[in-house]
Chains A and B, each alone.
Chain A
Amino acid sequence: MRDTRRARLTLGLLLAVALILITVDNRAGSDRVLGPVRGFAGAVFGKVERVGAAVTGPITGFVGMLRDAPSARRVIGDLRKENARLRDEVSAQRLDRARSDKLDRMLGLAGLGRYRIVPAQVVARRTVAGFEDTVEIDVGAADGIRADMTVLSDQGLVGRVIQAGPASSTVALLTDPALSAGARLEGGNELGVVNGLGEAGGGGNLIKFRLLDSTVPIGVGRRIVSFGSQRSLPYVPGVPIGVVERIDNTPGEVTRTAYARLFTDFSALDVVGVVVAAPKRDPRDSVLPPVPPPPKPRDERRPGEHRTGQRSLEEGFGLRRPAPPRDERAREDMAAGEGRGGRN
């Protein structure tokens, strides 16, 4: 090795530069010294990523189609069934339009809280187990996007903008372990904090929900909405987050921990919306999907005593959820809720 001395010197120098970069970036905190560097790189790479996404878009679509092929037949069957059901409902609704109109007005009043959003397309993604779960979207400062804006999908909360470039922005996802958001249980004032689990979430669609008051019963199947931050930055209130799936019973702890399945499918993020203007008043639970799904068969898998204990506790407090839609009244409710349209 003729140049091993020089090689070692250069290696040492480069390692030192990397360490200095780490130190500067880590110590500088939020107002980064290296902000302009990141901004420039974001502008350059963002443009190329948009072009790359446009070129590879058909490939992504084709692979997605192939991946969905086995379930497509089942989906077609389900849709046929749903179609028949909906046709029945439409005819039933036509019969008593007057009552339906009244219900519609009521629901319209409840659903007044609207978010103004800018739609965006996900162009790139990074997932490193443990530290980051981020996506790049194709709107930026030119479209009115600023850092710390809420990002949502058609089903629920996605995350928040952490950096807005000129024509693209970086979004930290809710599954990122570094991200936490204020959350509220549906139909009450019990507050908590939602934390991403990252890799520990198993498949990435589980998050941790810590209820600040450990005496409040949670109950499997209760839904979580965002609580909203001060001046609606970074989170606007009322966005659906997920459904409680599992509860950790740890007596003596200050907070109560539950695990919730997110409404948004984070493994197939495509079209998202960035909230550029918060609703004038908190929409409370009106943005949640209309009807809670019927009890999952998954619950039978864990016949633990804490599950039954949970249920009896809830009954004791008189806090049981409304039963799944079996009577006509609930069906109407659902139909009217679907007719409302434009949930977000």
Chain B
Amino acid sequence: MLRNVTPALLLFAVLVLQVVLVNRLLFTWAPDLVLLTVAVLATRRGPLPGAVIGFCGGLAYDLLPPANHTLGQYALVLCFLGYAAGRAGDRLPLLVMAGCGVLAPGMVAGLGALLGAPGVTWGVLATAWPRAAVCNLVAAPLVLWAVNVLYGGHRRRAGRTELVPGYRRGAA
């Protein structure tokens, strides 16, 4: 129970922090903390919980008030990235987060272009994607550190080395 409530609360706090503080202070240089949090949670929990965390977090991100885009865009992207991050495992969480941070802005923009968002052009992508990727890369170690502190050190995924043999894995 606590295992599922903690990520939900963490994501909620990060969502609010993102729009209230980070976006307003850093303007266009704001890293995507929601994406990075989803990625680090997914690496700790595995593919299935990762997908569920990504979907729920993305849906909440779509619904977060100052929103003007089509509902479900972030849910799709974060669901996929959560699954991928979970599959990649928690051996090198920083590398996985970096990959997500670089890929996600392009995926969101690509999905927007498919849906006919008027502002997505190659010129915009050429400046905005590298900038968003760099911001995410800079913020990734901080988010990883913060989540590790919150969870009390680097904990292995439940299952292999646990003393409780029948511990259910992947129940999100």
Contacts and interface: CB of A to CB of B under 8 A. Distances in A.
B108 interface: yes
A60 interface: yes
B119 A125 contact: no
Interface stretch (B16-24, B137-145, B148-156): B16-24
A125 B65 contact: no
Given A3-B48, A11-B47, A22 B70 contact: yes
B25 A60 contact: yes
Contacts of B55: 14, 17-18
Contact of A38 (B15, B51, B63, B80): B63
A48 B80 CA distance: 28
A136 B169 contact: no
B60 to A, nearest CB: 8
Nearest to A25: B71
B72 A45 contact: no
Nearest to A37: B63
Interface residues of A, number: 64
Interface string B61-75: 001111111111101
Interface string B31-75: 000000000000000111001100100111001111111111101
B26 to A, nearest CB: 10
Interface string B154-172: 0000000000000001100
Contact of B65 (A18, A136, A198): A136
Nearest to B16: A52
A298 interface: no
Contacts of B112: 128, 130-131
A94 interface: no
Contacts of A170: 65-68
Contact of B52 (A10, A48, A52, A197): A10
Contacts of A206: none
Among B20, B25, B51, B76, max chain A CB count under 10 A is at: B20
Given A3-B169, A199-B128, A129 B28 contact: yes
A11 B71 CA distance: 18
Interface string A155-178: 000000011010010111000111
Contact of B108 (A123, A128, A172): A128
Interface of A: 1-4, 6-7, 10-11, 14-15, 17-22, 25-26, 34, 37-38, 41-42, 45-46, 48-49, 52-53, 56, 59-60, 63, 122-132, 134-136, 162-163, 165, 168, 170-172, 176-178, 196-200, 204, 267
